[in-house]
Amino acid sequence: MYHCKKMLRKKGINRRIMAQGIKILYEGGVGELEEKKSRFIATTLPISSQEEALEFIEKTKKQYWDARHNCYAYVLGDHHEIQRFSDDGEPGGTAGKPMLDVLLGENIHNMVVVVTRYFGGTLLGTGGLVRAYSGAVKEGLANSVIIEKQQGRQLLLQTNYSDLGKVQYLLMNNSIPILSEDYGADVCFEVLVPLESEKNITELLVDGTNGRIEIIQSDILDFSVHKKEVLLL
């Protein structure tokens, strides 16, 4: 098993442990809608601190310097511990709070959104503003990449060539991501198993090889799968 252990040490994988099963923004985007000739442009960005949020808000205000309003909302923390919003001159409760409500309703974490309004000459009223700002945020999210962060156990597997086909079948059949593999005297796999499936997958591998496979537990990692690609977070 020494050969497989060397694979792990060479990887230098992040050992942070974070919350499981939460939605986060992976890539920001821009969405737009028009309401009675007023343009509402929503720009989103993933963040990890309030400083990043405020820097993005100021950058967006400079980009759209000629707009009537640049309203914002952002959330931080695995349990939305930090929540901030601004109406930026719109009537109180018609912009920032509805924007924040969309983020909370979608249960998305660690992101900021700025909605820029170019006034079209017609007052929208309280209800119209709430719908417009909420709708713009939804458009922005629709053009962003949202992923679900999970926790998984990194396992090192060592198997002989006679059991290789069975091990590969079990991993593929249970959608277990293979992070790396090495073929020498034996075959070594570095895999990532969702925590809730770890016991079951381990039992399947042991039973499927009549106990011949060697398994070493390693780190708990945050990950997601996007377009069949494993993302270590």
Please give the Cα distance from 65 to 62 (Å, whole number).
5
Please give the Cα distance from 175 to 185 (Å, whole number).
26
How confident is the model at residue 37, as a pLDDT?
A: 92
Tokens of residue 229, six digits: 């690609």
Query: Residue 223: in which H helix or E strand, if any?
Result: strand 214-226
- Residues 6+ away with beta carbon under 8 Å from 63: none
How confident is the model at residue 4, as a pLDDT?
A: 66
Counting residues of the chain whose pLDDT is more than 90, the rounded percentage is 77
- Residues 6+ away with beta carbon under 8 Å from 148: 21, 22, 23, 24, 224
Q: Which of 37, 42, 56, 29 is nearest to 135 (CA)?
A: 42
pLDDT, tens digit, 9 for 90 and up, residues 164-214? 999 999 999 998 989 999 999 999 999 999 999 999 999 999 999 999 999
Please give the Cα distance from 139 to 131 (Å, whole number).
12
For the chain, the farthest-separated pair of C-alpha atoms sits apart, in whole angstroms, at 75
Question: In the predicted model, what is the mean pLDDT of residues 45-66?
Answer: 97
Mean pLDDT of the chain: 90
Q: Residue 10: is its pLDDT beyond 60?
A: no
How confident is the model at residue 104, as a pLDDT?
A: 97
Question: In the predicted model, what is the mean pLDDT of residues 7-14?
Answer: 47
- Paired sense of beta strands 111-118 and 69-76, if any: antiparallel
Q: Residue 87: is its pLDDT beyond 70?
A: yes
> What are the structural domains, with CATH classification, of the chain?
2-18+149-232 (3.30.70.240), 29-143 (3.30.230.30)
CA distances from 213 to 9, 25, 136 (A): 20, 38, 53
How confident is the model at residue 17, as a pLDDT?
A: 43
Q: Residue 21: is its pLDDT beyond 70?
A: yes
pLDDT, tens digit, 9 for 90 and up, residues 88-128? 999 999 999 999 999 999 999 999 999 999 999 888 999 99
